[in-house]
Amino acid sequence: MTIKSKIRLSNVLMVLIPITAAGLIVLFCLRTSFGNYWHSLEMMYQDENGIQSAQSLIYTYQQELWENNWGSRQTACASQSIYQTETMYHLEQKLTNMGYHFTVKKNGQILYSNVSDADMEAALKTAGEALHTANTLTASRDNVSVIKNTFHHNAKEFSIIAVNSGQSGQPVESYLRNYILKYVFLFVLLFILLTAAMNWIMSQWVSRSVLVPLNKLRKGTHEIREGNLDTKLDYHKNDEFGQVCRDFEEMSAYLKESVEQRLENERRRREMINGVSHDLRTPLTSIGGYLDGLIDGIADTPEKRARYFNAIKTRTRDLERLVDSLSEYNRLESGRMKFHMERGDLKVFLEQYMAAYEEEAKDNHVDIRLEAGQSQYPMKFDGAQIKRIFDNLFTNTIRYRRNSHSQVTIRLDKQAETTRIRVVFKDDGPGVPEESLDRIFETFYRTDEARSHAGRGSGIGLAVVKEIVAGHGGTVYAENDGGLAVVMEFPEDTGKEVQ
C-alpha cells in the first residue's frame, strides 16, 4: 500500500470508527432499558393532530406571505388560490395532508379559505371567542385542533387560522421524528460529506508534502547510482524532509569528495610505483652493467676493476638513500614520526645552521644570504627536522641548477596580524613550469625535464619538506620568482619571549 493510500485510509478510519462506535452504542441503548427513556421523550413531543408540526409550518411560511402582495385582493373568493408560488403550493399541500383547512385574512378580510362551516363551528367550540380576539392561539380538545397566527407587515395585519376537526383520519405525527431527528440526520450527513471532502483535501496536501520530497530523493539516489554526484534535489522547505534533503546533498558532496580523493590517491599510487620503479631501475641497471663488465673480463686491469667496484658502491648507496627516504616519508605521512618541540628563535637557529653549512656551501658553490626584518622570531620547533627541511632545499637547488654557482636567499618575515612567521627559501635556478607548482610537493613527482635525468633525485625531498612543515602546524607552497621560491608559514610562539 502506498503512503498516499495509507494517509487516506487513516483519515477515513479516524472518522468512521468513532461514528460507527457511537451508532452501536446508541443502538445498544435503545435495545436496553434506555429505550424506555427514548419512548418517554418521544411521547413528550407527541404531536396530537400534528398541531406542533402545523404551527411550525405556518410560522416558517410567513415570509412567503410577506413577499406576496395580497393587499390588492379586496374581496373573499373561495376559488382564489393561495399557491401563486411553488412554495405556497407546498404550504397548502402539507397542511391538507395533515388534515388541516385554513383561512388567510388581511386586516380582518378573508383572502383565502377552504374551511367549511362545520370546521369553523368545531373551532369556535374549541377556542371560543379567543379565535377572533387573540393574536396567537393554539388549542386542542376532543380531537379538534385550532391554530391561529397573526403577524404584521408594512402596517398590514395578516392572520392564518388552521382547523383540524379530527375527521380526516390522518395518522398522528411525532414532532421528534418528523423534525428534530430529520435535522439530526441531515447534520450527520453533512458532517460525513464535509469530512470526506476535508479528508480528500488533507490527504492530497499531506501526500504532496511527503511524496514530492520522496520522489526527489528517489531520483537523486538514481542519479548517484549512475555516477552523477553533482545532483541537486531542489527542495528548500524548512521541514523534516528539507533537512533530509540537505543531509542528502551533504552526503552526495561527501561521496564526491571521497571518490575524487580515492581517484587522486590512485593516481598518486600509480605515480609512486612508477617513480620507485624508475629510481630503483637506474642504479640497479648500472650495478648490473658493472657486474657484467667484471664477469666478462672487460675490467682487465686493477684500475678498471677498482673503478667498477667504486661505481657499484656509489649506486648501492643511492639505493640505500632511496630506501631511507621512503622509510622516512612513510613515518612522516603516517604520523609515526615524533617531533621534539622546543622553544627557540628561528633566526638564531638559521644563523647557526648557515655557519655550520658554510664549508659545504663553498664546496657546492652556493652563496647564502639571510634577510630578517626583526630581531626575534620566537617559535616552537624540532631543530633536527627544520635542519632536514633546509638540507633538502639546498640539495634541490644544487641538483637542478644550470649555472656553476647558486645564489640562495632566506628571508624571514613576521605577520603580526596572523601571528605567523613566514620563511621564503629562494634560489636563482630555472624554477618549474607553472602547471607543476601545485604538484612538486607530491611524492615522487618530478617535472618531465627532471625525470629525463636519472641522477636528479628521487622526487621525495619536497614531499618530506611538506610533511615536516605540516607537523609544525604550518603550510608550504612554491612560486616562480626569478627562480624557485619555497614559501613556508609557521605559527609564532606567543608565549614568553626568548631572551
Give all strands (DSSP E) within 59-211, no chain letters: 101-106, 109-113, 136-141, 144-153, 156-164, 173-174
What are the tens digits of pLDDT across the range 276-301? 776 677 788 888 888 988 888 888 88
Confidence of residue 455 (pLDDT cuts 50, 70, 90): very low
pLDDT of the residue at 78: 41
pLDDT of the residue at 236: 74
Q: Give the best-scoring range by mean pLDDT among 2-16, 44-58, 413-427.
A: 413-427
Residue 193 pLDDT greater than 70, yes or no: yes
| H-assigned helices in 401-460 | 448-451
CATH topology of domain 46-171: Beta-Lactamase (3.30.450)
Return mean pLDDT, the chain.
78
Confidence of residue 102 (pLDDT cuts 50, 70, 90): confident
Residue 74 pLDDT greater than 60, yes or no: no
For residue 361, give Cα distances in angstroms to 350, 364, 391, 401, 405.
Answer: 14, 5, 11, 14, 10
Is residue 464 within 8 Å of residue 474, measured between CB atoms?
no
Residue 108 pLDDT greater than 90, yes or no: no
Residue 36 pLDDT greater than 80, yes or no: no
- Cα gap 130→102, rounded to integer Å: 17
- Domain 240-330 top-level CATH class: mainly alpha
Confidence of residue 450 (pLDDT cuts 50, 70, 90): very low
Specify the pTM: 0.46
Across residues 444-460, what is the average pLDDT?
53
Going by their DSSP bridges, the two strands 475-480 and 378-381 should be labelled as unpaired
Going by their DSSP bridges, the two strands 406-415 and 366-372 should be labelled as parallel
pLDDT of the residue at 382: 92
∠ CA(283), CA(461), CA(284), 5° rounding? 10
Between 451 and 248, whose confidence is greater? Answer: 248
CATH number of the structural domain 338-491: 3.30.565.10
Give the count of alpha carbons within 13 A of 391, CB side only.
Answer: 10
The residue written with cell numbers 485510509 in the block is: 9
Domain extent listing, the chain: 46-171, 240-330, 338-491
473: left (phi over 0), alpha (psi -120 to 50) or beta: left
Across residues 231-253, what is the average pLDDT?
80
- Cα gap 250→257, rounded to integer Å: 10
Across residues 112-139, what is the average pLDDT?
87
Residue 409 pLDDT greater than 90, yes or no: yes
Confidence of residue 176 (pLDDT cuts 50, 70, 90): low
- Cα gap 360→353, rounded to integer Å: 11
For residue 94, give Cα distances in angstroms to 17, 88, 97, 102, 308.
Answer: 39, 10, 5, 12, 135
260 contact partners, CB below 8 Å, separation of at least 6: none
Element holding 379 (H helix, E strand): strand 378-381
Closest CA to 154 of 82, 57, 65, 88: 65
pLDDT of the residue at 173: 54
